[in-house]
A and B are shown apart, each in its own frame.
Chain A
Amino acid sequence: MPKLVGVFESPGPVKGVAGKLQGRGFRNLEIYSPAPFPELDDALDSRPSPVRLFTLVGGLVGVVTGYAMTIWMSLDWPIMIGGKPFASIPPYTIIAFELTILIGGLLTVLGLFAVGRLPRIRLDSAYSARFSADDIGLAVECEDRDVAELEALLRDFEAKEVTLVEA
């Protein structure tokens, strides 16, 4: 299927045209931008990013591991230290805290990779070095018969260039 790529200078119109295209039933849309723009975050998918779940799970695994490891190890070979209980919660809280951060942080990054579909070997055919310069790109996959109409639509929304690539 052909793929049209519109090149834009600012994020506002991209959001507009993406909404319009989605309304018309085009599902294979992609936006490329050189910087994060709050306007574009929800342009294609308004659901909250699932990365948050990864952090939550990582943090919980960390805190449980922290307490379980310290308590189990202290009881595995009990040594009385300073008259304190073998499993002494206050000092172990420090270990549990650090592991919460450690595993929570690592799983967050795993979430970024999973949700952002990284790493990948090949770049999209619609991607261009311009989209890591100043321009914002919107790629839409369509039928042959829609090409001319979509080109006009993209230009209506201030696309300064429209390119056709084969998907």
Chain B
Amino acid sequence: MAPPPAESVAARIAPAPLQRDSKINRDLLSVMDPPSLKYFLLLGLAILGVVQAAATLLWQTWEGLGIAGYAHPIFWGVYIVTFVFWVGIAHAGTLISAILYLFRAKWRNAINRSAEAMTVFAVMTAGLFPLIHIGRIYKFYFLLPYPNQRGLWVNFKSPLLWDVFAIGTYATISIVFFYVGLIPDLAIARDRSTGWRKLLYSALSLGWQGTSRQWKSHNRTVLHLSGLATPLVLSVHSVVSWDFAVSIVPGWHATIFAPYFVAGAIFSGFAMVLMVMIPVRRIFGLEKYITDYHFENMARFILLTSTIVAYAYGVEYFIAWYSAVEPEQTAFFMRAFGPYWISTWIMILCNGVFPQLLWIPRLRTNVAFLFVLSVLINIGMWFERYVIIVGSLSREYETAVWGLYIPSAPELSILAGSFCWFGMFFLIFIKIFPVVAIAEVKELAIHERAHGGAH
């Protein structure tokens, strides 16, 4: 029998319209629904905070760093503290997206997108601070190796230059990582949107269709980026710690600094993920996707890293005593009982003591407790850097370089502005991009559906 011509078959087979969209798409894309008035108020507040900080920065650029409270002998203050703080925050995102990916920890799927976004925004915040700190912002390009009339090159033996390369690479790779993960989800959003959003998602999704060839190279790309980002994330905070450890200031000059800073970074980063995700889950009703199980796992990470950080605090004191180097011993005595004692005890309580409550299983799933704890940890980690940086600089070897530094109002204005800057980008992000990695959540769901009966 001769086969029927194609036309007749075409007539027989109805074209397949999109019936009901998948539940996962509807749930997760609904986060991007038109925002409420409250959202705009919050966004407005954040923008206001950024504007006031920008005004302060303009004033500081005009007047000079004198208004920043910098005075002999302390020339590293709130700006450097805040720089280290935000770089640290960034680390949890890369840990979740890269390291947990390599360990095949499937639970990361629900939180990796927002954690990666946080990484990008935190690095964008952190990156501003060295520039704010140099005072003459318009000379920032002196930090880069560029050919100039003087024929001079930058000093590659300086940790400050290692920082330029480490932070620059970290910012680039985290943006790339974030974007590569977004492409399939942007295609999902493209297929379901109209107007300017359709245009935006069409452009950003690059014509992604989820062909097997695309997925295969996508998997490979994510794997390789994870493999590259894992040593990167460990190196970035190590390099930041060497800004201090490579000098000979008492309280800074310690080999423990790199692992100590990396643990602290992951610690504060997870606290920030919790601090942001708890309200997001509540407001957008994502309890089905971001479960208590996720929060509990993050609480475990916080407990682990808190213990490492607390151990490092102890070891620092031990080394100061054991080394029998008097300036070192004085530095650590002054830390606990000198003019900056309040900061030190805040740091010990918030980072070393309170998180230990997470040994109690009931508290690890208590969302209210986790939220309060994450705020305390962020405060504690900011003060940790404050204690290390300002505390150590205030007592160096000679009495001639002893001094006191108190943060000035312009510095606090810019510090507040940095939180608003971070918040502003996050608020915009949750309305423009899918806040949970839809394709990855779906991968698990479709497999469950396919094997639902069999297993």
Contact = CB atoms under 8 A, between A and B. Distances in A.
Given A105-B228, A164-B6, A34 B209 contact: no
Contact of A116 (B155, B214, B228): B214
B44 to A, nearest CB: 34
Contacts of B218: 36, 112, 116
B221 A111 contact: yes
B439 A49 contact: no
Given A95-B162, A98-B169, A129-B192, A121 B213 contact: no
A34 B166 CA distance: 36
A116 B213 contact: yes
Interface in B157-172: 157, 161-162, 165-166, 168-169, 172
A144 B172 CA distance: 50
Interface in A53-85: 55, 59, 69-70, 73-74, 76-77, 79, 81-82, 84
A58 B211 CA distance: 26
Contact of B165 (A79, A94, A163): A94
Interface residues of A, number: 84
A111 B208 CA distance: 15
Q: Is the interface of B mostly helix, strand, loop or mixed?
A: helix
B221 A51 contact: yes
Contact of B212 (A41, A117, A161): A41
B216 A41 contact: yes
Contacts of B9: 147-148, 151, 164
Contacts of A30: 211-212
A161 B232 contact: no
Contacts of B46: none
A118 B388 CA distance: 48
Contact of B206 (A2, A106, A120, A151): A120
Going nearest first, the 8 A-B pairs with the smallest beta carbon separation are A10-B450, A119-B206, A120-B207, A35-B443, A129-B191, A73-B153, A116-B214, A134-B22
Given A49-B217, A91-B156, A106-B172, 18 more contacts: A2-B6, A2-B10, A34-B188, A34-B210, A92-B156, A94-B165, A97-B231, A98-B232, A102-B169, A112-B221, A117-B214, A121-B207, A123-B209, A127-B209, A128-B16, A134-B446, A145-B3, A147-B3
Interface of A: 2, 5, 7, 9-12, 30-37, 40-45, 49-52, 55, 59, 69-70, 73-74, 76-77, 79, 81-82, 84, 88, 91-92, 94-95, 97-99, 101-102, 104-106, 108-109, 111-113, 115-124, 127-134, 144-149, 151, 161-164
